[in-house]
Structure 1
Amino acid sequence: MSVHLVTGGGTGIGAAVATRLADDGAEVVISGRRPGPLEAVAATHERITAIPADAADGEAMRSLVETVKDRFGRLDGVVANAGGHGYDSVTNTSDEAWRSSLEINLTTAFVTARESLPLLEASRGSIVIVSSLAGIRAAAETVGYTVGKHALLGLMRSIARDYGARGVRANAVCPGWVRTPMADEEMGVLVESGGAADVEGAYAAVTKDVPLRRAAIPAEIAGVIAFLLGPDASYVHASTMVVDGGAHVVDVPTLAFG
């Protein structure tokens, strides 16, 4: 029996990852700051356990990992998925907003890794850090989010360099647009600004230059993460897997040519 921890497990990608891993036979612990969504996900599967915790809080995560150890005796995989907003330009970002964005997008993964690595060493386990296409590209007025997601790749590489010899694999996933509650909110902003008639039109607008011409669904990202955690990826280490429907290969200056 394998045991996995998924942060930000109450909605979107995190919930899909938890479901996929549980369906594959793992025991899955999901964490997040809001008990309600976590409990709703846990109620869907007997192998999913909800333990509320702020992934940026060292004491809270230390306690969570101890609970996992006491209850299951081991930890085989971690998905550092907690994240959030950070949308504005440099000059419009306050000190408070900057700190908040880095805490939710970067510190969450750092603290989760720090507290879980001893158990991952013991099991020769794996950690997958969920970054974003914003981790390798930059959208307009998203400085906090972009910097945090870029930094996650540095965190993954540092873990891979230091802990690979100790048997721990570390990789990152960079999703593009995914149909999640957070993305739906962003589509709503586009609708309100007049950029689209409705949410479906907004998704069509933001993916019109993506080679696959659509956003992903959370289960598609979950499948990639499940692969990286599993035995078929036993020699995949320090890799950044971009899962964006091909968006990152588009040569922006040639878009006018079709």
Structure 2
Amino acid sequence: MTKKIALVTGAARGIGLATTKLFLEDGWSVAMVDWDHDELQRASDGLEHVIAISKDVSKPEQVDAIIAETLEQFGKIDALVNNAGVADFGPIEDTDFGRWRRVMETNLDGVFLMTQAAIPALKETSGSIVNIASISGLRASTLRVAYGTSKAAVIQLTKQQAAELGEYGIRANCICPGPVRTKLAMAVHSQDIIDAYHDAIPLNRYGSEIEIANAIHFLASNKASYVTGQVLAVDGGFDSTGVGLPALRS
């Protein structure tokens, strides 16, 4: 029971998979959760000290099963990483209620449900919650009325969790990734979009999955034992530039 246990949602790819591997490198065991059964099996194949749980974090009964299976296998939960999310973009006028709910169900409801279900286990370990929001929750952008609003809500939910759960020794923090060089992003971002992001980001590049994972791992670990209720933008300085024009830089 000395080995620490992390539960990572959206673990089949991208930031979730990078975070899983970083925990494993540090000697943790990981419950990998993802709704995409086939992709989760491919991602977990060959990894030691993991269990793969193919469930949907937006479904209350499946969330209860996720927690139960994790505790049955590992006996405890030291860190919950709420990373599962969907990115469904579109103009306000074209965003019907179906699209709105699809985004909210996973991005917001999933964070609420997973945390709620994990609280008893986290009380036992004085554990940590790391929620993954987005730079889109801090600054508005076109086509993100549902996505950006869901991520802004996750930021507020994180602060609420920190305020209420601190008395149990449970910490709750939030990561807001900026543009990240994932396979999905590179598949849909044209060269013009890539160039525009580079111009708007002070570090002049996209982040990497491991750079986001490093921040998640820190906040989940005892190195951040007095850090709670915080929102950390891991974005190359993107949020700091506000509406500044890249052309005006010296």
Q: What is the deviation of 1:120? A: 0.5
Describe the superposition over 1:172-221 as per-residue Cα deviations: whole angstroms up to 9, x where unpaired. Answer: 0000011123322431xxx3xxxx3xxxx643332222111111110110
Paired residues, number:
247
The residue type paired with residue 99 of structure 1 is R
Question: 3-state DSSP class of the match of 1:145?
Answer: helix
Question: 3-state DSSP class of the match of 1:50?
Answer: strand
Q: Where in structure 2 are there 5+ consecutive unaligned residues?
A: none
Structure 2 counterparts to residues 18-57 of structure 1, below 5 A:
18-57=20-59
In structure 1, the residue matched to 2:65 is 63
Q: Is the 8 A contact 2:24 2:49 kept in 1?
A: yes
In structure 2, the residue matched to 1:236 is 227
In structure 2, the residue matched to 1:82 is 84
TM-score, normalised to structure 2, is 0.95
Match of 1:129 among 128, 131, 136: 131
Q: What is the deviation of 1:254? A: 4.1
The residue type paired with residue 220 of structure 1 is E
Q: Is the 8 A contact 1:86 1:143 kept in 2?
A: no
What is the distance in 1 between the residues matched to 2:49 and 2:207? 25
Which deviates more, 49-58 or 247-256? 247-256
**Once superposed, what is the RMSD of the aligned Cα atoms?**
1.3
Q: Where in structure 1 are there 5+ consecutive unaligned residues?
A: none
TM-score, normalised to structure 1, is 0.92
Identity %: 32
Q: Is the 8 A contact 2:199 2:246 kept in 1?
A: no
Describe the superposition over 1:157-178 as per-residue Cα deviations: whole angstroms up to 9, x where unpaired. Answer: 1111110111100000000011
In structure 2, the residue matched to 1:207 is 198
Q: Is the 8 A contact 1:11 1:181 kept in 2?
A: no
Q: What is the deviation of 1:136? A: 0.4
In structure 2, the residue matched to 1:252 is 243
In structure 2, the residue matched to 1:167 is 169
Question: 3-state DSSP class of the match of 1:25?
Answer: coil
What is the distance in 1 between the residues matched to 2:82 and 2:198? 26
The residue type paired with residue 161 of structure 1 is A
The residue type paired with residue 87 of structure 2 is H
